[in-house]
Amino acid sequence: MNYSMSPPQASNFSGWHDLLFYALLALTAVFTLIVGVAVVFFAAKYRVGSKANRARPVHEHLPLELTWSIIPLILGVIMFLFGTKMFIWERTPPKDALNIYVVGKQWMWHIQHENGVRENNTLHIPVGKAVKLTMISQDVLHAFYIPAFRIQYHVVPGRYTQTWFTATKPGTYHLFCNMYCGTQHSEMGGYVYAMEPKEYAAWLARGGEDTPHLTMEQEGARLWNKLGCGNGSCHGSSDSERGPSLNGIMGKTRKFTDGTSVVADDAYLRESILQPYNHVTAGFENTMPAYQDQIEEEELMSLLAYIKTLGNTPPAKTPLEPGKGAPLSGPYNKSVPSFSTGAIEAQRPGRPGASPGNNSVGAESVQKQGSKE
């Protein structure tokens, strides 16, 4: 659980907004304190029966009235000037801003980048570059709200509205619809991914895919690492105590502890992964865990593709997990803040989790919508 009391500061406006906010907070605290102290003090001093001097009470006092009219007035006008200055800044996008287009509809955000890349319920943007959003709604009113950037503007049917910001800190931030728009209003949102410009460019170049396209072999290598097949002494480059080497296994005849044998092919390898106990290679114990129901067929195909390469070439340099290695590093990867993904199952059994391809909130709305129809 996160006990923060303020949203992250992640745009050019955040600092100024918070300065203004805390100034107003100080003003509120001071005036509340003045009134509170005066009330308590008077209540105590002039409680009925007290010996306080009550001679010549005052009922009207023009200078006093003017004082407490003019001081708040001046303070108010000062705050007005700063607030207005900031608002005018917020309403004046720089000319060289990056254009991104937003369409709101019940209950999704469609976002389009200038090179044609589209995304739903997520917004990828580069840090350090002014971004101008041009927005319109297909149906009712919505409001595009990114608390971390301190920006919000209505998305109105029949007219374009604009807002802009410059993200300053890479990270994943909330995107909300903040104008009530019907049944799934609270789920019309997602995440903003602020990334380093280079990574944003790479993301755009990938056509908006979160991960670069991997060949089946690369994907298989990734799984090989993930499942730890080559870890320790299981399936190394040569046979070990725990397991046989799989180098160049395809087409070779395998001998089993029960005396039978088979020529290794795709079917054999698949079975050996899912139900390794069926055929334990001679000379080894039945120690390998069964991967039945643990692995998708698609993944299995990739894994087999990788296994076939073992021993042919020096072991392929395997890409690492997203978020751990070079091409996928940075905060923009899809591991949304840790509290986000698990929360759904944790809070409400039966609620479908965020789908792997799109961790945004609205994606779920779409699924639900689809299933109803």
Partner 1 sequence: MSDLNPSNAAAPEGEPTHDEGVSYLEAGHTIKSWLLTGDHKRIAILYLISTTLFFVVGSILAGLIRLELTSPAGVLLENDTYNKVFSAHGIVMIFFFLIPAIPAVLGNFLIPLMIGARDLAFPRLNLASWYVFMAAGVLAVFGLCTGGVDTGWTFYTPYSSLYSNTQVTIVIMAAFLAGFSSIMTAVNFIATVHKMRAPGMTWFRLPLFVWAAYATSVMIVLGTPVIAITLALVVLERVFRLGVFSPELGGDPVLFQHLFWFYSHPAVYIMILPSFGVISELFAAFTRKRVFGYHFIAFSSIAIAGLGFLVWGHHMFVTSQSMYQGVVFSLISFLVAVPSAIKVFNWTATMYKGHVRMQTPFLYALGFIGLFTVGGLTGLFLASMGTDVHLTATYFVVAHFHYVMVGGTIMGFLGGIHFWWPKMFGRMYPEFWGKLSAISVFVGFNVTFMPQFIVGFMGMPRRYHYYYFAPEFQIYNILSTAGATVLAFGFALPAFYLTWSLKKGPKATANPWGAHGLEWQTASPPITANFVSTPIVTDEVYDYSHMDEYEQQKSTLEMDKPGTPGVETKDGEVIAEEPK
Minimum Å gap between C-beta 171 and partner 1 is 14
Q: Which of 18, 139, 158 is nearest to 86 (CA)?
A: 18
**C-alpha span between 208 and 202 (Å, rounded):** 9
> Whose Cβ is closer to partner 1: residue 36's or residue 228's?
36
Distance CA 269, CA 305 (A): 11
CB of 357 to partner 1, least distance (A): 17
Toward partner 1, which CB reaches closer, 55 or 326? 55
How many CA atoms within 13 Å lie on the side-chain side of 162? 16
Measured from the CB atom, is 88 or 326 closer to partner 1? 88
Least distance to partner 1, CB of residue 322, Å: 20
Which is nearer to partner 1, 194 or 361 (by Cβ)?
361
Residue whose CB is less far from partner 1, 139 or 285:
139
CB of 195 to partner 1, least distance (A): 20
Strand segments, DSSP code E, in 170-323 are 171-177, 189-195, 253-255, 261-263
Enter the tokens of residue 160: 């374009």
Least Cβ distance, residue 51 to partner 1 (angstroms): 12
- Residue 300's closest CA among 323, 278, 267? 267
Q: Is the Cα torsion angle 182, 186, 190, 194 positive or negative in sign?
A: positive
In the complex, least distance from residue 247 CB atom to partner 1, rounded to whole angstroms = 46
Q: Is 166 left (phi over 0), alpha (psi -120 to 50) or beta?
A: beta
Amino acid in position 185: H
φ, ψ at 185 (rounded to 5°): -50, -45
Nearer Cβ to partner 1 (14/272): 14
